[in-house]
Amino acid sequence: MSEYDEFYEDDDQQESNPVRARMKQLEKETRDLRKQVAEAQAAQKELAFVKAGIDLTSPMSKYFVKGYDGELTPEAIRLAAEEAQLVAPTPQVQDTDKSGWQESNKIAAGAEASPAGPSWMKRISDANSESELFEIFAEAQAQGIDLSQS
């Protein structure tokens, strides 16, 4: 559309050609609909960022929103925001039932790990007195370990 057409488009003069008048009407409707579509897409994008937990009033967030070109799903946006350190990572909620079953399976399989005991030889070599040595040997005997053979 030329500038000449736009200049006369605003005039309230009746068009002598009904086809041209209808075309102008349709062109105006098309511009209005395209504007509405652009506004709806912007609102949809903004809603996705809000659902992802992004504070749209923060200056850093404004740059993030402007530069983001990934999927417009809250999950994808949140992941990208976590990578950009705009939001705190979501804590992983562990399923208590699942962890309970895993623990019972470990116990049933005999895989329950006991904490590693101290290195007896290191403790003996680090001992400063004879009484410390006797305490170490007594502790080992209480746990069923015979240090006399080591």
Q: Enumerate the domain spans of the chain.
A: 3-83, 118-150
First to last CA, the chain: 98
Question: What confidence category does residue 112 fall into, taking pLDDT thresholds of 50, 70 and 90?
Answer: very low
Mean pLDDT over all residues of the chain? Answer: 80
- Dihedral over Cα of 69, 70, 76, 79: its sign: negative
Query: DSSP label at 70?
Result: S
Q: What is the per-residue DSSP string for 110-139?
A: T-PPPPPPP-HHHHHHH--SHHHHHHHHHH
How do residues 33-92 score in pLDDT, each as one tens digit?
999 999 999 899 899 988 988 888 888 888 888 888 888 888 899 888 888 888 877 776
- The whole-model pTM stands at 0.45
Q: Characterize 101-139 residue by residue with b for buried, 16 or more Cβ atoms within 10 angstroms of its Cβ, and e for exposed.
A: eeeeeeeeeeeeeeeeeeebeebeeeeeeeeeeeebbee
